[in-house]
Structure 1
Amino acid sequence: MTPPDPESLRLLVLVADLGSIGAAAVELRVSQPSASKRLSSLERGLGLELVERSRQGCTLTPAGVIVADWARQVLAQVDGLMNGVRALRAQHEPRLRVSASMTVAEYLAPAWISRLRRALPETHLELDVTNSQAVAEAVRHGHADLGFIETPLAPEGVSIRHVARDRMVVVVPPEHPWARLRRPLTPAELAATPLIVREEGSGTRETLYRALAEVGADPVAPLLELHSTTAVRNSVVAGAGPAVLSTLAVGTDLAEQRVTEVGVTGLDLRRPLHAVWRSGLRLTGPAAALLAIAMRTPD
């Protein structure tokens, strides 16, 4: 007597449930001749006739019914074993939880993650895309191993490392009156104009408002407040109004003249991009590798 393999037992159970070798073969994604051959091998190995074949289909013999019931118990144990093995493997696989602000996540992180995957293909990576304030909170409370933010000032309770430098620009639709200006805007003119902005907590918004505050300009209420960089960019392209966005987000639009850059005098819209992690911890493994990749980003 030859011990049966799990797939042959699974085939027998499907024949019992579906009443057809052909239907069971379809379920297992094998050909009907292959399924019939496997059933015959199972019968020979056990020394029992398990299936009665007819033109109307097939039914299990009394012995086949008993063996199919035993097979269900065996398969349940096999499935439990494999689920347990998968859980054990997941515990030992390298895991990296990353939280990144919108601009970083949309325009820089994909290339970083691609390089990390090539270097450490076994790493299971989770990326949460949110605003800079939420990134800092996730890192502080241990919900993310590594974060990337755009805010000009370092948040409390985290270790921080400079990664790259970004520049923000005022952009308008080509038909906007500012697109025809022969001089740069003043900070006061920019502050007095309702803009399309990101939500509170966004590094893009904080950089703009801090730069205006440093020159004594108080911004008016926004024209629109949106929760993603892409939504702000799309609104400008659609003609809704002006915005201040990273050159990472609008570089292609500027080159293809879908939007127009408007100069501003006396306003520093450069900003650092930082990596952050929980204060007091030393980065190791995939987190340290991703930080090293990010730090090679040209300014």
Structure 2
Amino acid sequence: MQHAKALFDIERNAEEELHAMRGLGGGVLRIGASTTIATYIIPPYLGIFHRAYPGIKLSITSANTRLITQLMNSHEIDVALVEGPIEEVGIVSEAWRKDEMVLIASPEHIFANTTEPIDPYRIADEIFIVREPGSGSREVVTDALSAKQVYPARQLEVGSTEVTKQLVAGGLGIAMISVASIRDQITLGTLVVVPIKGLHVERVLWRLSVAGRLSNPATIAFNKLIQI
């Protein structure tokens, strides 16, 4: 089955290359991205790409890191951008860009009224909102807190960054999420960033590819664009 999928993928790529030889005038580009990347980071790139190559049909899949990796491995997407490091046979991980993870709270939370960075251990006493298993964001945050021997006793698991932000803004708990995802809420004053003493969480976002797989011209063009 895997061999057949690879053959079909080669055939599809060949057809798209023939269409794309006329200045990328046709074909399909299938992009898979972790939810934070798909929602907050790549939309401007998608707009630029569409204006440059209006004949290319874009297909966007947003899911957690684990699922995006599976889709890439099964040749169901052409571009894969994820939030966590991947160690899987046949998958090549390339560092793409950096992203800062910050602690957020509602403006009414006790953490919002402190003038100094809080001690990391204080997080353990709060309701800590986390993403679902398989999320790259969750893995990065868990590793960073574990390095400081911080283990929140009460965790609330949710399936999206948007839900996380709404729950924190409502005063249900605190969370650590990408700084790229909260710009609007910070401007509106519905969320605040809480500095943590001795803890700066910066993660690498990754671009995945399948070892030995040839990229079609649309994929090459998009990969060049997102490096800007």
Common fold, TM-score beyond 0.5? Answer: yes
- Residues 284 and 191 from structure 1, CA distance in 2 versus in 1: closer, same or farther, beyond 3 angstroms? farther
- Residues 191 and 288 from structure 1, CA distance in 2 versus in 1: closer, same or farther, beyond 3 angstroms? farther
Residue identity opposite 1:270 in structure 2: E
- Name which of 146, 170, 181 aligns with 2:103: 170
> In structure 2, what is the equivalent of residue 244 of structure 1?
176
Matches within 5 A, 1:135-284: 135-151=68-84, 153-156=85-88, 157-222=90-155, 224-284=156-216
- Alpha-carbon separation, structure 2, partners of 1:159 and 1:115: 26
- Alpha-carbon separation, structure 1, partners of 2:117 and 2:50: 44
Contact 2:127 2:172 in 1 (8 A): no
- Alpha-carbon separation, structure 1, partners of 2:38 and 2:109: 29
**Higher strand proportion (structure 1 or 2):** 2
Q: Which has the higher contact order (CA 8 A, sep 6+)?
A: 2
When the two structures are superposed, what TM-score results if normalisation uses the length of structure 2? 0.83
- Alpha-carbon separation, structure 2, partners of 1:214 and 1:279: 33
Residue 125 in structure 1 maps to residue 58 in structure 2: yes
**Higher helix proportion (structure 1 or 2):** 1
Residue identity opposite 1:101 in structure 2: S
- Alpha-carbon separation, structure 2, partners of 1:212 and 1:161: 25
TM-fit CA distance, 1:155: 3.1
- Alpha-carbon separation, structure 2, partners of 1:283 and 1:160: 15
Structure 2 residue matching 1:258: 3-state secondary structure = coil
CA radius of gyration, larger in: 1
Deviations 1:118-155 (A, max 9, x none): 2221111111110112111111121211111111x233
When the two structures are superposed, what TM-score results if normalisation uses the length of structure 1? 0.64
- Alpha-carbon separation, structure 1, partners of 2:214 and 2:162: 34
Contact 1:275 1:291 in 2 (8 A): no
Contact 1:191 1:212 in 2 (8 A): no
> In structure 2, what is the equivalent of residue 26 of structure 1?
none
TM-fit CA distance, 1:271: 0.8
Residue identity opposite 1:117 in structure 2: H
* Amino-acid identity (%): 27
Unaligned runs of 5+ in 1: 1-87
Contact 2:126 2:173 in 1 (8 A): no
- Residues 238 and 194 from structure 1, CA distance in 2 versus in 1: closer, same or farther, beyond 3 angstroms? closer
Aligned residues: 206
- Residues 101 and 232 from structure 1, CA distance in 2 versus in 1: closer, same or farther, beyond 3 angstroms? same
Contact 1:136 1:155 in 2 (8 A): no
Deviations 1:247-271 (A, max 9, x none): 1111221233211111112223111
Contact 2:34 2:65 in 1 (8 A): yes
Unaligned runs of 5+ in 2: 1-14, 20-25
- Alpha-carbon separation, structure 2, partners of 1:193 and 1:279: 43
Residue identity opposite 1:112 in structure 2: Y
- Alpha-carbon separation, structure 1, partners of 2:124 and 2:202: 17
Residue identity opposite 1:214 in structure 2: A
Residue identity opposite 1:220 in structure 2: A
- Alpha-carbon separation, structure 2, partners of 1:154 and 1:166: 17
